[in-house]
Structure 1
Amino acid sequence: MIRALCAAVLVTACAMSAPASASSPTPQPKPATTPGGGCTAITAPPPESAPPTSVNTLRQAYFCVLDNYYSGPVMDAKALLKSAFAAYTQNLMRRGADRADLSLPALTGDRGADWEAFAKVLGAGDPAALRAAITGMVAGLQDNHARWVRPTPPPEGGPTGTGIVGLSAAQGPRLDPAARPPLFITRVLPGSPAAKADIRAGDIVVKANGVPAFIGDTPNQSLVDAFASSTVRLTLKRPTTGRTRVVELKEGPVEERPPAVTSKKLADDVTYVQLPGFYEGAADQVIAKLSDKPKAVLLDLRGNGGGSPREVTRLLGAFAHGKVTSYFCPLKGDCVPNRTDDSVPLLGSRLIVLTDRGCASACEDFSAAVKGNDLGTLIGTRTAGAISGPSEAYLLDDGSVLLLPRIRHLGPAREIIDTIGVPVDHHAPMTALDLATGRDPGVAKALSLL
């Protein structure tokens, strides 16, 4: 399940590299220029086969960050090498392969000279430890839109998994530190191993592979590794009955359908629309569902992991014209305003938006624009706070891809949303019992306001 969420975040970061609109283009990447050749801005899918990860791959990643990351020009490069070296040695230690001669050399701050000293210590390098080093170096940026992706071929016979693709505390590749007990399942794929084991949305996760979901009131991040296993032993509690049971769940064939916009009528002249992501064409799909121009629109963005800023500005154009929706800011120079797509006809509908901690990236861009421009009402819980800035993709020599933001996102009032999230106007969280019984406090609150 966590692996599926990680993949979704990475796809989102790639999609966020698109310009926000024709009138306010995002600064476009330039190929890195580093000694001996660096990374290049990716213009096509990575090659299906490539050499293994090498010391040169790590070198490319190091200079790629310095040349292309938002704060790369002013970054302390020594910190990058320290993060990489720490991850490299930890990987060796976990595998019982530590080396007595492996020590971080003295670093001077000269980016080129420090790399040469660093590489000399590594020697030929260990491929697995080198991959860990790149991962550790990128993680050291502490940026939710910076990722290192190693393309993997699709499995023979189709995708596999447990079928659990939603957790109440999931926030990208980790658990939300602000989440409170209990931890419960929010989505199960039909026909999957989880569904066949009668695991349902709303089931409370007490333990996974013996790891408790919470330590006191703090989410146990070790649960991420448990859910990433091909076999996971779950202790589950059903909120409707209080019954606790243990299920051993093994990966098997799963069918993940492409995301799609769904809608239904809730009351006279009130249309509910669920938008799972700001993927290409999503805005027009939503607008098509509202062709009858209802008096009120209830737009459900819960669990929406983001996507393209172009889709954000286009959908906002159905509810307002002439508004600044956000800003994209370089390290130096003026911020570029993003604006509503005024080519979209106005619906004239009242807008209510449902959000939660799974609403991230472009979803937060949309939510902040609605709140900041007084375009509607937000109901649910504060968004994820995972919107550092749109990422650009860079290819390394082993076929892997670095995703690095070149700019920073600010809200319509130039406010920082990253790591903070967008607050709602009305707090209406979904509980395990709500999911298990089919109740929806967000929808109920929206209808009461209407």
Structure 2
Amino acid sequence: MIRALCSGILLTACSMSAPTPAAPQAPVARSAPAAQLALPAPVARPTPASTPAAGCAAITAPPPESAPPTSVNTLRQAYFCVLDNYYSGPAMDPKALLKSAFAAYTQDLMRRGADRADLRLPALTGNRDTDWDALAKVLGTGEPAALRAAITGMVAGLHDNHARWIRPAQPPQGGPEGTGIVGLSALQGPQLDPAARPPLYITRVLPGSPAAKAGIRPGDIVVKVNGVPAFVGDTPNQGITDAFTSSTVRLTLKRPTTGRTRTVDVRQGPITPQQPPSVTSKPLPGGVAYVHLPGFFEGAADQVIAKLPDKPKAVVLDLRGNGGGSPREVTRLLGAFAHGKVTSYFCPLKGDCVPNRTDDTVPLLGLRLVVLTDRACASACEDFSAAVKDNGLGTLVGTRTAGAVSGPSEGYLLDDGSVLLLPKFRHLGPAREIIDTIGVPVDHHAPMTAPDLAAGRDPGVAKALELL
């Protein structure tokens, strides 16, 4: 069973219990899209008797090694799966689900020049069963590509950052390929953060990658992408994100340390596979320990504790870029800083919210805590940050978090081998506040800038040391 607070934000590390999404690669890497499942060894395809007939089945094993194409039956399973398992599914209007699916279906046909004159949305009544029967009659056998678009559109219509439809992809022969640009400021999920301010700049480049060989470095400001400005005034240009998925991207870059502007064509090529996320640490002046936690993966809390030196004065916990992960790891790590505290609430559609609490089996560290956050701190990362802030366990430094923490997702297997991720609960902070779409505000604003990154400065760490 999948149960995790994991955002859809790109360029972050987000882990779940098996099966797990891979640590997301850059948007330019063909080999590992952000929504791709990292699967254990393939298993045999389920027998027809084990395949759900009407709805979906909670996933307890990896998807099959091979599966039939997406069909009308797959769309039917997804439709009933949402109504039966999404936390607000029982109260949803099934007409809205089918409308979203049908709109995406027809739009896909139009993009491919295959629209049909007889394809119209039938009259819908609000009865989930009869409405499905009416739509299925119109679709007939359907077209796999358009049906995949329909499922994607239906899930997108939920407007939930933890609801996703994932189709496992086979890794390419010869290893992963990409440009090697695996970090961009202002990127949230598949688009730029609407609240982002210019400039857009590169935050991470893989060593030995095509981008690195082209002399691209962290801190380089992206002036244009394929000739299109990254910002129009102060508004991020959302259209440029698609350019990073092409085989070649032309970047106009400005080096902040020198002011030099140049244009470079970067072609995708072999890149070094990214290793699983791990905790890193280093000493800071004054006996302060710095620990970077890239994701709340299995065992993350114990890794953080193990990385701390003996008797540090305080700890700076860097959660910038942390895309979330296991709620259990959140409560376990919080248990090292406080006992007997409510960390968050998981709320059903109806009934009482269930409190999550610190794991009091973890020995208290008795350390002062500063947490560094940014707009890429999402999901379980926000769960942790809100608990620190609301319970007075430490100080938040950096920028407001992503606001992508709708609720923990569980996975459901469909008959084409794809997986539907749906939250069964909605998330509230320790004070019962809504964090989703809003984020957790920091106590001290200390954003990273392109000149800081290019020069090797870290304003967040500097502010943390000033406070400590």
Q: Offset of 1:70 from its aligned partner?
A: 1.0
Q: Offset of 1:210 from its aligned partner?
A: 2.5
| Counterparts in 2 of 1:303 and 1:346: CA distance versus 1, 3 Å | same
Where structure 1 has 5 or more consecutive residues not aligned to the other structure, the ranges are 18-33
Q: Cα deviations across residues 370-399 of structure 1 (Å, max 9, x unaligned)?
A: 000000000000000000000000000000
Partner of 1:191: 208
Q: 1:223 aligns with which of 240, 262, 279?
A: 240
Q: 1:297 aligns with which of 293, 311, 315?
A: 315
Q: Offset of 1:166 from its aligned partner?
A: 1.1
CA distance in 1, matches of 2:400, 2:346: 22
Partner of 1:52: 69
What amino acid does structure 2 have at the position aligned with 1:371?
K
Select between 388-397 and 152-161 the one with higher mean Cα deviation: 152-161
Q: Offset of 1:291 from its aligned partner?
A: 4.5
Q: Cα deviations across residues 9-56 of structure 1 (Å, max 9, x unaligned)?
A: 875698899xxxxxxxxxxxxxxxx99421100001111110001111
Question: Is 2:436 the partner of 1:436?
Answer: no
| Counterparts in 2 of 1:13 and 1:96: CA distance versus 1, 3 Å | farther
Q: 2:168 aligns with which of 126, 140, 151?
A: 151
Q: How does 1:18-417 map to 2 (within 5 A)?
A: 36-255=53-272, 256-417=274-435
Where structure 2 has 5 or more consecutive residues not aligned to the other structure, the ranges are 1-7, 22-50
SS at match of 1:327: strand
| Counterparts in 2 of 1:107 and 1:66: CA distance versus 1, 3 Å | same
CA distance in 2, matches of 1:208, 1:86: 30
Q: Give the TM-score normalised by the residue count of structure 2.
A: 0.89
CA distance in 1, matches of 2:315, 2:425: 33
Structure 1: 4+ residue segments shifted above 6 A = 13-17
CA distance in 2, matches of 1:416, 1:14: 28
Q: Offset of 1:215 from its aligned partner?
A: 2.1
What amino acid does structure 1 have at the position aligned with 2:264?
V
* Cα-Cα RMSD: 1.9
CA distance in 1, matches of 2:14, 2:455: 33
Contact kept, 8 Å, 2:54 with 2:80, in 1: the verdict is no
Contact kept, 8 Å, 1:5 with 1:165, in 2: the verdict is no
CA distance in 1, matches of 2:252, 2:138: 46
Contact kept, 8 Å, 1:360 with 1:387, in 2: the verdict is yes
Contact kept, 8 Å, 1:12 with 1:305, in 2: the verdict is no
Q: Cα deviations across residues 120-164 of structure 1 (Å, max 9, x unaligned)?
A: 111111111111111010000000000000000122222221111
Select between 210-219 and 321-330 the one with higher mean Cα deviation: 210-219
Q: Offset of 1:293 from its aligned partner?
A: 3.1
CA distance in 2, matches of 1:293, 1:194: 42
Contact kept, 8 Å, 1:14 with 1:393, in 2: the verdict is no
Q: Cα deviations across residues 33-92 of structure 1 (Å, max 9, x unaligned)?
A: x99421100001111110001111111111110110011000011111111111111111
CA distance in 1, matches of 2:353, 2:413: 27
CA distance in 2, matches of 1:253, 1:203: 22
Contact kept, 8 Å, 1:145 with 1:388, in 2: the verdict is yes
| Counterparts in 2 of 1:374 and 1:348: CA distance versus 1, 3 Å | same
What amino acid does structure 2 have at the position aligned with 1:184?
Y
| Counterparts in 2 of 1:92 and 1:14: CA distance versus 1, 3 Å | farther
Partner of 1:29: none
Select between 45-54 and 244-253 the one with higher mean Cα deviation: 244-253
Q: Offset of 1:298 from its aligned partner?
A: 0.4
Q: Cα deviations across residues 281-301 of structure 1 (Å, max 9, x unaligned)?
A: 111010001151311100000
Question: Is 2:435 the partner of 1:424?
Answer: no
